[in-house]
Amino acid sequence: MRAINVKPRRGLRILLGCLPFGLLLLAYVIGSDMRLSASAHDKLLPGLGTMAEAVQQYAFTVDVRTGNYLMW
């Protein structure tokens, strides 16, 4: 049987589907770490912690001026 005709099992299909996203996340983390080690105030590739803080602020904190959640 040729390799092009092989159909992977369900678990392997899920793993292969998630693989590109995992590789992109890994590349982002490595690139962000490299840029942040050169300049701690780099805004091009912020760290995951900085992004989590921004999501926390915009999604789950009420804006004092409008009284609304900024993300929604």
Residue extents of the structural domains in the chain: 3-60
As a whole number of angstroms, the distance between CA 52 and CA 55 comes to 5
DSSP of 47-60: -HHHHHHHHHHHHH
Is the sign of the CA dihedral 43, 46, 49, 53 positive or negative?
positive
Q: Is the pLDDT of residue 70 over 90?
A: no
Q: Is the pLDDT of residue 67 over 90?
A: no
Write the pLDDT tens digit of every residue in 1-60. Answer: 688 888 999 999 999 999 999 999 999 999 999 999 999 888 899 999 999 999 998 889
